[in-house]
């Protein structure tokens, strides 16, 4: 244990606090409290699932070499913009699907397209 | 302040109608990114006259949006061609000191799509809606462009519009390989057609007023432009407007085949499926750029908001929908 209070424990504490105050809120503030709770849940999943590692692995597999995620994204976008990679390039759509599925599993795991694309 | 605004609006409505008017209240309903909407309780010759005031948020109209005066004029033009719209009552003028805006009659109906898409008492309305949307779009797209000549509708070839959208994407300095893939996919297919129709530009479930007979009014004309009619059909089928009822591709309530058949039966062009699919990819990408815009509003500090920050994280949903559309031909 590196910290007595881990990041996940802080998230749980804030989520519990939001749950405590939200019944007293109305209208816009009540809605924003719900949005805030969802945002916290995204953070918790991101810490647990590390989707950026999965995305980097998928992009590196397609491009054939390792680099940081920002560099991999920039390289692939640049190749698409220059037409060196096209929508028809074998393996591209599959690699991007793996990368994006990892992100959606964090951002909105109940999103229907996620279950459909994994089926 | 509020009584001052009521007095000013009373004068505007009296000028526009030549009747005896009294505005009792102006209540804010919602503040969108570019518009503010108010419920106005007025009396006309002593009788209750429920109205809606729509003004440009903070007095400004964003790029790519119509001025409120043109929006009102277009709404009236659509109305004359059989598109169900709220009747425009008055257009604000510079000297009115209320900013850009216009006043329209308040049409009864349900505006909350998640409600009318699911509530049992709207079941009969939902049955009619696909055919009604198709007929309304066919009428809108049949309006001769010459009738809109006086309006500053954005216009341009399809490939130019794609390039504009790409420049918008690049302005966020975000690298999304899926968005670049979609732009490349569109470039292979979009062609370079000149505009042939008035396109509503935001024809989706969230912009309908629905009553027990179905489509009561089409709202929010501010993104109208000249283009290809099929763009409206594609936008109506974007997954985000199905509010979770993804099995019904037309706005969460209908099937594509019925929409296309009814559109042709009402005088619209026969819909080419590949073309409609192209416009669905286009529309999905456009919604993705809107998510980027909202996220950008937050991270740049322009409009700090937990809601906008959270919508920024919906980019990944859009990316997955784009991949599904491109891989499997539909979503």
Query: Could you give the 3-state DSSP secondary structure of residue B29?
Result: strand
Q: Measure the CA–CA gap between B43 and B135, rounded to whole angstroms.
A: 35
Q: Measure the CA–CA gap between B26 and B3, rounded to whole angstroms.
A: 9
Number of CB pairs < 8 Å for A and B? Answer: 93
Query: Which residues in A have their CB inside 8 Å of a CB on B?
Result: 31-32, 35-36, 38-39, 42, 59, 70, 73-74, 76-77, 80-81, 83, 86-87, 92-93, 96-97, 99-101, 103-104, 106-108, 111-114, 116-117
pLDDT, one tens digit per residue, over B116-144 is: 999 999 999 999 999 999 999 999 999 99
CB A108 to CB B307 under 8 A?
Answer: no
Task: Report pLDDT for B31.
Answer: 59
pLDDT, one tens digit per residue, over A1-53 is: 688 999 999 999 999 999 999 999 998 899 999 999 999 999 999 999 999 99
CB B309 to CB A108 under 8 A?
Answer: no
Please give, rounded to a whole number of angstroms, the shortest distance from the CA of A26 to a CA of chain B.
15
pLDDT, one tens digit per residue, over B190-246 is: 999 999 999 999 999 999 999 999 999 999 999 999 999 999 999 999 999 999 999
Burial class (CB in 10 A: 0-12, 13-18, 19+), B139: middle
CB A107 to CB B313 under 8 A?
Answer: yes
Give contacts of B317 with chain A, Cβ < 8 Å.
Answer: 104, 107-108, 111, 113
Reported confidence tier of residue B331, pLDDT bands at 50, 70, 90:
confident
Give contacts of A104 with chain B, Cβ < 8 Å.
Answer: 316-317, 319-320
Give contacts of B313 with chain A, Cβ < 8 Å.
Answer: 39, 42, 107-108
Where are the domains positioned within chain B? 2-105, 113-328
Q: DSSP string covering B1-16, please?
A: -HHHHHHHHHHHHHHH
Of A77, A87, A113, the CB nearest to B320: A113
Count of alpha carbons within 13 angstroms of residue A74, beta-carbon side: 6
Whether the model pTM is above 0.90: yes
Indicate if B113-328 has the same CATH topology as B2-105. Answer: no
Evaluate whether the domain defined by B2-105 bears CATH number 3.30.200.20.
yes
Tokens standing for residue B172: 């966020």
pLDDT, one tens digit per residue, over B158-192 is: 999 999 999 999 999 999 999 999 999 999 999 99
CB A93 to CB B327 under 8 A?
Answer: yes
Give contacts of B188 with chain A, Cβ < 8 Å.
Answer: 86-87
pLDDT, one tens digit per residue, over B65-82 is: 889 999 999 999 999 999
Of B188, B310, B324, the CB nearest to A113: B324
Contact partners, residue A88, CB within 8 Å, separation at least 6: none
- Picking from B322, B298, B321, B323, the residue whose alpha carbon sits closest to that of residue B308 is B298
Q: Looking at domain B113-328, which of 3.40.50.10540, 3.90.1200.10, 3.30.70.20, 3.30.70.2740 is its CATH number?
A: 3.90.1200.10
ipTM above 0.90, yes or no: yes
Give contacts of B319 with chain A, Cβ < 8 Å.
Answer: 96, 100, 103-104
CB B321 to CB A113 under 8 A?
Answer: yes
Please give, rounded to a whole number of angstroms, the shortest distance from the CA of B212 to a CA of chain A.
27
DSSP state of B121: G
Task: Report pLDDT for B61.
Answer: 57
Of A38, A92, A100, the CB nearest to B320: A100
């Amino acid at each position: 244990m590196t910290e007595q209070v881990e990041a996940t424990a802080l998230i749980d504490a804030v989520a519990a606090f939001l749950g405590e105050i939200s019944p007293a809120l109305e209208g816009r503030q009540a809605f924003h409290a719900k949005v805030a709770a969802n945002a916290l849940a995204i953070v918790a999943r991101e810490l647990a699932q590390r989707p950026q590692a999965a995305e980097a692995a998928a992009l590196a597999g397609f491009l054939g070499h390792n680099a940081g995620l920002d560099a991999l994204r920039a390289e692939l976008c640049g190749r698409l913009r220059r037409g060196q990679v096209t929508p028809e390039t074998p393996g591209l759509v599959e690699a991007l699907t793996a990368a994006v599925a990892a992100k959606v599993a964090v951002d909105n795991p109940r999103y229907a397209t996620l279950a459909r694309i994994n089926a | 302040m509020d009584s001052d605004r009521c007095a000013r609006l009373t004068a505007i409505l009296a000028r526009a109608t030549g009747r005896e008017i009294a505005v009792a209240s102006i209540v804010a309903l919602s503040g969108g990114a570019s518009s503010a909407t108010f419920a106005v309780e007025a009396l006309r010759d002593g009788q209750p006259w429920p109205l809606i005031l729509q003004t440009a948020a903070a007095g400004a109209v964003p790029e790519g949006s119509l001025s409120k005066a043109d929006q009102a004029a277009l709404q009236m033009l659509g109305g004359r061609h059989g598109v169900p719209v709220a009747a425009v009552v008055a257009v604000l003028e510079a000297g009115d000191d209320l900013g850009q805006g216009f006043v329209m009659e308040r049409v009864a109906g349900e505006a909350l799509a998640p409600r009318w898409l699911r509530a049992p008492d709207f079941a009969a309305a939902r049955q009619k809606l696909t055919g009604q949307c198709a007929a309304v779009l066919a009428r809108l797209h049949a309006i001769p462009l010459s009738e809109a000549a006086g309006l500053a509708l954005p216009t341009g070839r399809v490939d130019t519009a794609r390039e504009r959208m790409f420049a918008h994407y690049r302005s966020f300095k975000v690298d999304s390989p899926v968005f670049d893939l979609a732009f490349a996919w569109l470039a292979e297919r979009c062609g370079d057609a000149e505009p042939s129709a008035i396109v509503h530009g935001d024809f989706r479930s969230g912009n309908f007023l629905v009553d027990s007979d179905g489509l009561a009014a089409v709202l929010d004309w501010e993104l109208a432009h000249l283009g290809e009619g099929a763009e409206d059909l594609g936008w109506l089928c974007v997954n985000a407007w199905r509010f979770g009822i993804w099995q019904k591709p037309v706005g969460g309530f209908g099937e594509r085949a019925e929409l296309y058949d009814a559109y042709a039966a009402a005088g619209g062009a026969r819909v080419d499926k590949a073309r409609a699919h192209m416009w669905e990819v286009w529309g999905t990408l456009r919604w993705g750029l809107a998510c980027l815009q909202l996220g950008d509003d937050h991270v740049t500090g322009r409009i700090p908001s937990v809601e906008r920050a959270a919508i920024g994280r919906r980019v990944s949903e859009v990316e997955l929908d784009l991949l599904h559309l491109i891989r499997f031909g539909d979503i």
